[in-house]
Amino acid sequence: MSTLSKRINSLSESATLKMTKLGRELSAKGVNVISLSVGEPDFNTPDHVKNAAKKALDENYTRYSPVPGYPELRQAIANKLKTENNLDYDASQIVVSTGAKQSLSNVILTLIDPDDEVIIPTPYWVSYSEMVTLAEGKSVFINTDLESNFKITATQLEAAITPKTKLFMFSSPCNPTGSVYNREELASLAKVFEKHPNIFILSDEIYEHINFVDKHESIAQFESIKDRVIIVNGFSKAFAMTGWRLGYIAANKEIAAANDKLQGQTTSGTCSIAQRAGIVAYEQGLESVLEMKKAFLRRRELVYNLLNEIPGVKTNLPDGAFYFFPEISSFFGKKDADGNVIKDSSDLSLYLLNVGHVATVGGDSFGNNNYIRLSYAASDESLVEALKRIKEALAKLN
C-alpha cells in the first residue's frame, strides 16, 4: 500500500511556485536571478491598511473570528460589490477565506462530485485543473490562442457543454494572458448559460482593478444567470496583500452556506488581523490601486516593445493583470550549447533560468505549451535587464 493517498498522488506541484523555488535556490548560490515567475505586485501594502492591522492587534482582534468572516468585513464587501460593480449581494452571501485560492478550492469542493465536468478555457491559472482533480471531477478544456486574444466564443462554449457539465470557470482579467472579456463577450456567454440552467459559473475576478481597457465587467451582472454565478475576488493583487491571505466569494445563499460549512471543518475563519485591515482597505477606496496601475501600464509598454524586438517571439498587448504570455514555439527543436534539445515550454523556461538567469513559467502548466508566462510586476530596470538576458539567451539556441 502506498503511503500517500491516490488523491495527493494525482496532484502536480504548482509550476509557478516551483519556478520561484528554483530561482530562489539559484540566487542562494550567489547567482543574480531576476524573477518574472511570481504573480505578485512588487509594491508594499498601503500604509492605511498596515495601520489598520496594527490597530487591530492593539484592540486584541487576536481570537477566532466567525468562520465566514467578521460581519463588518462581509458588509464592506457587499458595499463594494454595489458601489463598484452595481451588484446586489446581502452580507450573508459573502464568505471570506484564506485568499482567493481557498475560495476557488472551497467552491469546487462544494459543487463537484466525481466525474462532473468542469469547463476551463486554456490558458488557465495553474491551480484550476488541479483543484478539479482533487475533487475527482474532470476538466474539459476549450483551447484559445494568440490569434483569438486568448478568449473563447459562445460557439466554442456551446460545443464543450455535455449533460455532465456542472461548472464553467475562468478569470477575467486573465492570469496568465491578461485578456479581459468585455460586456458584449460576457453577454454572449451568458446567453449560452441561459439555455443550460444546471451549469454554475465560477468567475475569478482577482485582477479586477488591473484593467487597462474598460471598466471591469462581471458576468454576474446578467440577472438571468446571476444566481448561478460565484464571484471570487480578494485583496492580494489590488492592495498588494499577497501575504495576508484574504479572499472571498459572493454567491447564492445555498452555496455561501455550504462554503461556510466546509471552511468550518477545515480552516475556520481566516486571520482576524488581516480581516480588520481588509475592512479599511475597502472602506478607504482605490487611490493606492490607481498608483500601482499606472506603474503596471508603463511597464506593459516597456515589456511589449522589448518582446517585439526578440526574433522568434510573438506577443499581443495584454488588456489587464500583469503578465505577458508570448508565443515561443519557434524555439522548439533547437539545441543549447551542450546539445540539449528544447522540447517544450518548460524546457525553454528552465533554459532561460539556467542560462539567462531569468525565472519565467512554461505555458504547459497553464494548458498551452507554445507559450511562456512573464510577470511584469518588477522594477523597470529589472525588466529591461531581464528582457536583454532573454533575448541574448534565445539567440544562443540553434
Binding-site ranges for ligand PLP (CB under 6 A): 39, 99-101, 125, 171, 175, 204, 206, 234, 236, 242, 247
**At its nearest, how many Å lie between ligand PLP and the CB of residue 324?**
14
Q: How far apart are CA 375 and CA 78, in angstroms?
A: 31
DSSP strand E in 183-260: where?
A: 200-204, 229-234, 247-250
The smaller minimum CB distance to ligand PLP, of residues 126 and 342, is found at 126
CB–CB of 249/259 below 8 Å?
Answer: yes
Nearest of 269, 271, 264 to residue 244 by alpha carbon = 271
The smaller minimum CB distance to ligand PLP, of residues 99 and 318, is found at 99
Considering only the C-alpha atoms of the chain, give the largest distance between any 2 of them, rounded to a whole number of Å: 63
**At its nearest, how many Å lie between ligand PLP and the CB of residue 196?**
24
Q: Give the residue nearest to ligand PLP (CB).
A: 99
- Residues whose CB is less than 8 angstroms from the CB of residue 231 and which lie 6 or more positions away in sequence, other chains included: 81, 87, 203, 205, 218, 220, 249, 250, 251
Provide the H-helix boundaries in the chain: 6-9, 15-28, 47-58, 71-85, 99-111, 127-134, 154-160, 183-194, 253-265, 272-283, 287-308, 345-351, 380-395
The smaller minimum CB distance to ligand PLP, of residues 275 and 351, is found at 275
Backbone angles phi, psi at 311, to 5 degrees: -60, 135
**At its nearest, how many Å lie between ligand PLP and the CB of residue 237?**
7
**At its nearest, how many Å lie between ligand PLP and the CB of residue 30?**
29
Q: How far apart are CA 374 and CA 199, in angstroms?
A: 33
**At its nearest, how many Å lie between ligand PLP and the CB of residue 210?**
11
**At its nearest, how many Å lie between ligand PLP and the CB of residue 20?**
11
Q: How far apart are CA 106 and CA 266, in angstroms?
A: 10
The smaller minimum CB distance to ligand PLP, of residues 204 and 260, is found at 204
- Residues whose CB is less than 8 angstroms from the CB of residue 305 and which lie 6 or more positions away in sequence, other chains included: none
The smaller minimum CB distance to ligand PLP, of residues 38 and 190, is found at 38
The smaller minimum CB distance to ligand PLP, of residues 100 and 390, is found at 100
**At its nearest, how many Å lie between ligand PLP and the CB of residue 152?**
16
The smaller minimum CB distance to ligand PLP, of residues 182 and 242, is found at 242
Sign of CA dihedral 262, 267, 272, 273: negative
The smaller minimum CB distance to ligand PLP, of residues 99 and 137, is found at 99
Q: Strand 323-324 relative to strand 34-35: parallel, antiparallel, unpaired?
A: unpaired
**At its nearest, how many Å lie between ligand PLP and the CB of residue 102?**
7
The smaller minimum CB distance to ligand PLP, of residues 175 and 369, is found at 175
Q: Which amino acid appears at position 352 of this protein? A: L
CB–CB of 33/390 below 8 Å?
Answer: no
**At its nearest, how many Å lie between ligand PLP and the CB of residue 180?**
13
